[in-house]
Each structure stands twice: as structure tokens, then as C-alpha cells.
Amino acid sequence: MTTTPVRTADVYPTRGPEEVLIGRKDPVVWSDPGTPGPLWGHELESFEQQGFLPVEQLITPEEVDVYRGELDRLVSDPAMRGDERSSVEPASREVRSVFEVHRVSEVFARLAADPRVVGTARQILGSDVYVHQSRINVKPGFGARGFYWHSDFETWHAEDGLPRMRTVSVSIALTPNHPTNGGLMIMPGSHRIFLGCAGATPEDNYKRSLQMQDAGTPSNEALSKFADACGIRLFTGRAGSATWFDCNAMHGSGDNITPYPRSNVFFVFNSVDNVAEEPFAAPLRRPEFIAARDFTPVR
Ligand code: 6CS
Ligand code: FE
């Protein structure tokens, strides 16, 4: 007797025939006010309101040197170039991202488990957490491509089976984020509305979507409404700065045509009470290096 895969009710339908707007059904900050952790109460409130929290210095300049060195080592390792966990720039074929860096690299594993990092994720999500995805983005200069507007949760729900919005990302800058070199842009407050995208997920969509997303892309009309209502915030900061952002924040980044790389390390923490089920709107699961199936909490 075959057992049907366990999947909870789909409260965020997406990738059907029409685009849909659904009010968020989940808290943004899951821990009780006053819960101890790296963030102050007013910072948690700001995260709740905006859907993001910039941190001027999450790691020291000396630590940046260590992690930047590790990024350079990984990116220039010939073995990594051929590894399926590396994705390359469409034009230059330079390495664009390396996934699962918390498992590939002891150095990045330690950063994910650093109390300043995992402690903040636990404080926001109100539980133990595991790494759903990690990656280093090199975003070299001279034309590296950006990422078009999207909600990460829309993909993680549709393709990875994350049932609820109890997931938080942190992007830690390993090179300066200037206003000009393809920085992260987020629409403040956009995390409160789930935008279910139109259009079914093609088979092994991830092979294209990690270079340029098509399934899960909002319409121009929806993006115009979001931008008119929320505005757009560009994140700049020194190497060592970071941005925490909610899984459902509408965000994207531009191309980087300057000579200055915009490299970062990116961790996605998911609550152990929100583990991945079967995809809600995709024919197949994505590979485990993109969507973890090991739910062991980060200690
Ligand atoms: O598909 C994903 O999981 C990845 N894609 C983007 C553009 N952002 C989130 C995540 O790293
Ligand atoms: Fe994203």
C-alpha cells in the first residue's frame, strides 16, 4: 500500500492559472515580546513592521577577511566549479553562487552557528532552527546579473514544501555594498501580503530559476501596486554589515556593471516546527543542496 506524502493544508496557493493576493496568515516575529536574544525589542518591532532589519556591523573587519578568504578559496577551487552546488554567470561563466556552504565549509558552518546569527534567527522564529538553504553570492563586477523581483517564500512553499511563513534570511556583506553595485532592494511592508503567482512550475525549474527566475515571477501590475504602496529600499553598507529579511518580503537586485564585486554569504533559517513537506506547487522536489531535508537544529 503506497502512503501518500504528508502535506498540510495549502493556505498560500500559488502557480495556478491566475495571480492571487492573500493576506499573511502567520506572525512575522514568532517569539513573545521580551524574549532574550541578540535583538532589542525595538529592533524586533521594526522587523515586524518593515519585514527587514539592517545591521550596521554583524561581523568585524577581521572576521570579514576570514570569510572573504574562504569565499575566494571556494570560488576558485576547480572541484567546486564542476560541482552541482555551484551556479555560474550566464555570460561570463564565472562562478555566481555556491550552495550549501554551511556543509561544504567548516568556516561558514561556524558562522551559521554563531550566536549573533543563529541566536537572532531563533529569536525571530521563536524556536530551534535549521538551515533550509545557504549560499555565497559572488556577484562579480563587470556585468553580473541581478535577481528579478520575487518573494523567497513563494518559491520555498511552491517548490520546497515549506508550509508556513516561519523562515528568515540573513545576507551578510563580504564586500562593500555601494548604491551602484547591484545591491539588495526590498519593498518595506510587502511581507504582509502573499502574492500567489500565475503559471505552473516547469520540471527541474531550479536549473534556470537560480540564474533567472521565471515561474514565481509577479506581474508588472502587481509589482507596480506593491511598489506604489510600499516604496523600495536599497541596502548599502560596509563589508560586515548584514540585512535580516522575512521570507515573504518582495525583493530583488540589479545587475552589477561596476568593477566592484558585491559578494555576500546568505543563510536561510527555518523553524523546526515548519519543516519542508512535499512541494505545494511543483512536480518534483528540488535537490537537497538547495532545500535541506536534514532538519537537525543548528546548535
Ligand atoms: O530559489 C531560491 O531558493 C533562491 N532564489 C532566489 C532568487 N532567492 C532566494 C533563494 O536563494
Ligand atoms: Fe531571493
Domain extent listing, the chain: 20-30+47-271
Q: Is 167 in the pocket of ligand 1 (CB under 6 A)?
A: no
Question: What is the DSSP-derived secondary structure letter of residue 91?
Answer: T
Task: List pLDDT tens digits, range 180-191.
Answer: 999 999 999 999
Residue range 130-146: mean pLDDT, rounded: 90
pLDDT of the residue at 159: 97
Is pLDDT of 67 > 90? yes
**Strands 242-246 and 264-271, bridge-based pairing:** unpaired
pLDDT of the residue at 213: 67
The architecture (CATH level 2) of 20-30+47-271 comes to Sandwich (2.60)
Compute the distance from residue 241 Cα to the ligand 1 centre, in Å.
20
pLDDT of the residue at 91: 75
pLDDT of the residue at 89: 74
Crossing angle of helices 115-125 and 41-50, rounded to 10°: 60
Is pLDDT of 96 > 90? no
- Residue 18 burial by Cβ neighbours in a 10 Å radius (0-12, 13-18, 19+): exposed
Q: Is 108 in the pocket of ligand 1 (CB under 6 A)?
A: no
Residue range 150-156: mean pLDDT, rounded: 98
Give me the phi and psi of 137, to 5 degrees please.
-110, 125
Beta-sheet strands, E only, within 174-218:
184-186, 193-196
pLDDT of the residue at 4: 60
First CA to last CA distance, the chain:
38
pLDDT of the residue at 234: 97
Task: List pLDDT tens digits, range 199-257.
Answer: 888 887 777 666 666 777 999 999 999 999 999 999 999 999 999 999 999 999 999 99
Q: What are the CA-CA distances from residue 28 to residues 12, 84, 227, 252 (Å)?
A: 15, 33, 20, 20
Name the average pLDDT for the chain: 93
Ligand nearest to C-alpha 249: 2
Q: Mean pLDDT lowest for which of 13-27, 36-50, 71-85, 170-184?
A: 71-85
Give me the phi and psi of 193, to 5 degrees please.
-120, 130
DSSP SS3 for 96: strand
Tell me which residue has its CA closest to atom 7 in ligand 1: 147
Compute the distance from residue 154 Cα to the ligand 1 centre, in Å.
10
Q: Is 134 in the pocket of ligand 1 (CB under 6 A)?
A: no
Compute the distance from residue 296 Cα to the ligand 2 centre, in Å.
23
Residue range 36-64: mean pLDDT, rounded: 97
Cα–Cα distance measured from residue 57 to residue 131, given in angstroms and rounded to the nearest whole number: 22
Tell me which residue has cell 531535508.
Answer: 293
CB atoms < 10 A from the CB of 288, how many?
A: 14
Q: Do 28 and 48 form a contact (C-beta atoms < 8 A)?
A: yes
Q: Is 151 in the pocket of ligand 1 (CB under 6 A)?
A: no
Compute the distance from residue 9 Cα to the ligand 2 centre, in Å.
24
Q: Is 153 in the pocket of ligand 1 (CB under 6 A)?
A: no
Q: Do 52 and 243 form a contact (C-beta atoms < 8 A)?
A: yes
Share of the chain above pLDDT 90, in %: 80
Cut 0.75: pTM above it: yes
